[in-house]
């Protein structure tokens, strides 16, 4: 199968919607990362997602919708979900609710479904044009860094899908925050700051408060480049520790930094703000792999606001290897 990157004009959106209605897969941009979409109500189409990504079948998919009516059609909305929907959708947040009419293949056999409304014109136009909820994980090979440009999707899925809608680089760059609205628990830190969500629905519990595993995806390895990732925990002397560690590294090494001065050592500067860091992180991982680096040292950040999601991704990518 030949894979084409398409500009999201009216004609191409129609073409992609036809592909979805015919049981195919289409990759599309959102404000978080690129998604690999299928008609959520078509079991055979959904199975193709797991095959294309090499994703374990018990790792449920998030359903993407274009409006609140579509949420009502696939889930029972709780009071806390309603508050999140009103305050933050469209936006980088997913609510987990008791499902209606959604096949088990989408939800990994769970009786709940994750739902989100992406804040991206192209994604919303595409979902509207399809006329069905679109279930979509990130459009990468399982365990690789999530794709934030159409070229990343092509790199991982070339020959496996027909179309990639090109919406340029994703704005947020990290996956959505996931809230279990049945139990008011935070399941995954992500692109919408937890402080903002708690200001609307009150204090959330965390997954570790639950006796049963509620977020199956969290047990899998994620976000890793081929290079070894080392996470430098934030402290006053963090950059000194990084310099020393770099100088002792026998591998071809690079530092991902927020504007630090590392002399003539290799650096990839992601910009000063947490938003810039999130926006660039996965892109940096892919670029540095292509440039042949074997070890990437990442500057850590304080775990507040977007920093919480960033540190989660950095820790996962490092497999817990910190300095």
Stretch 61-80 residues interacting with ligand AMP (CB under 6 A)? 62
On the question of a cis peptide bond just before residue 175, with omega within 30 degrees of 0, the verdict is no
Q: Which does 164 bind (CB under 5 to 8 A by kind): Mg ion, ligand AMP, none?
A: none
CB 37 within 8 A of CB 89: no
Figure out which of the listed residues 133, 171, 217, 307 binds ligand AMP, where binding follows CB under 6 A: 217
* C-beta closer to Mg ion: residue 172 or 267: 172
Query: Tokens representing 16?
Result: 């992609």
Figure out which of the listed residues 20, 178, 192, 227 binds ligand AMP, where binding follows CB under 6 A: 178
* C-beta closer to ligand AMP: residue 267 or 306: 306
CB 205 within 8 A of CB 185: yes
Figure out which of the listed residues 84, 192, 215, 309 binds ligand AMP, where binding follows CB under 6 A: 215
- 123 interacts with ligand AMP by CB under 6 A: no
CB of 76 to ligand AMP, least distance (A): 13
CB of 208 to ligand AMP, least distance (A): 15
- 94 interacts with Mg ion by CB under 5 A: no
Q: Which does 183 bind (CB under 5 to 8 A by kind): ligand AMP, Mg ion, none?
A: none
Phi/psi at 164 (5° precision): -125, 120
CA 302, 305, 311 angle in degrees (round to 5)?
45
Q: Which does 173 bind (CB under 5 to 8 A by kind): Mg ion, ligand AMP, none?
A: none
Write b or e for each residue in 120-157: b if 16 or more Cβ atoms lie within 10 A of its Cβ, otherwise e.
Answer: bebbbbbbebbebbbbbbbbbbbebbbbbbbebbbbbb
* C-beta closer to Mg ion: residue 141 or 266: 141
Q: Where are the beta strands (DSSP E) in 184-277?
A: 185-188, 205-206, 228-232, 253-257, 267-269
Q: Where are the beta strands (DSSP E) in the chain?
A: 4-6, 26-28, 35-39, 62-64, 75-76, 93-99, 112-116, 134-136, 163-165, 177-180, 185-188, 205-206, 228-232, 253-257, 267-269, 295-299
Binding mask 133-172 for Mg ion (x = CB under 5 A): -----x----------------------------------
Strand 35-39 relative to strand 134-136, pairing: antiparallel
Q: Which does 107 bind (CB under 5 to 8 A by kind): ligand AMP, Mg ion, none?
A: ligand AMP
- 216 interacts with ligand AMP by CB under 6 A: yes
CB 84 within 8 A of CB 200: yes
CB of 136 to ligand AMP, least distance (A): 7
- 112 interacts with ligand AMP by CB under 6 A: yes
CA Rg value for the chain = 19
- 84 interacts with ligand AMP by CB under 6 A: no
Report in angstroms the alpha-carbon separations of 92 from 42, 119, 163, 313.
25, 7, 24, 16
* C-beta closer to Mg ion: residue 49 or 280: 49
* # of chain residues touching ligand AMP (CB under 6 A): 19
Q: Hey, is 290 helix, strand or coil?
A: helix
- 96 interacts with ligand AMP by CB under 6 A: yes
CB 161 within 8 A of CB 24: yes
Figure out which of the listed residues 24, 29, 37, 60 binds ligand AMP, where binding follows CB under 6 A: 60
Residues that bind ligand AMP in the complex, under the rule CB under 6 A: 59-60, 62, 96, 107, 110, 112-114, 137-138, 175, 178, 187, 214-218
Residues that bind Mg ion in the complex, under the rule CB under 5 A: 138
């Amino acid at each position: 199968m030949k894979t084409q990157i398409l500009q999201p004009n009216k004609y191409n959106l129609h073409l992609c919607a036809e592909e979805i209605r015919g049981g195919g897969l289409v990759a599309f941009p959102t404000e978080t990362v690129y998604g690999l979409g299928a008609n959520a109500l078509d079991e055979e189409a959904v199975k193709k997602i797991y095959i294309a990504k090499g994703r374990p079948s018990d790792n449920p998919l998030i359903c993407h919708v274009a409006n609140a009516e579509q949420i009502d059609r696939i889930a029972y909305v709780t009071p806390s979900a309603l508050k999140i929907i009103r305050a933050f959708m469209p936006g980088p947040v997913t609510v987990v609710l008791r499902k209606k009419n959604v096949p088990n293949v989408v939800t990994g056999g769970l009786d709940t479904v994750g739902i989100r409304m992406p804040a991206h014109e192209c994604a919303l136009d595409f979902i509207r044009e399809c006329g069905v909820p679109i279930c979509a994980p990130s459009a990468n090979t399982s365990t690789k860094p999530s794709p934030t440009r159409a070229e990343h999707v092509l790199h991982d899925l070339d020959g496996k899908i027909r179309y990639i809608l090109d919406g340029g680089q994703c704005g947020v760059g990290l996956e959505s925050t996931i809230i279990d609205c049945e139990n008011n628990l935070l399941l995954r830190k992500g692109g919408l700051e937890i402080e903002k969500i708690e200001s609307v629905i009150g204090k959330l519990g965390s997954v570790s408060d639950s006796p049963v595993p509620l977020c199956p995806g969290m047990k899998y390895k994620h976000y890793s480049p081929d290079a070894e990732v080392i996470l430098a925990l934030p402290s006053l002397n963090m950059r000194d520790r990084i310099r020393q560690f770099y100088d002792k590294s026998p591998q071809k090494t690079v530092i991902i930094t927020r504007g630090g001065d590392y002399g003539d050592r290799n650096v990839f500067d992601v910009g000063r703000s947490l938003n810039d860091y999130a926006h660039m992180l996965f892109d940096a991982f892919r670029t540095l792999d292509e440039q042949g680096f074997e070890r990437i040292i990442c500057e850590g950040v304080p775990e507040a606001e977007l920093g919480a999601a960033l540190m989660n991704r950095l820790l996962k990518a490092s497999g817990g290897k910190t300095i």
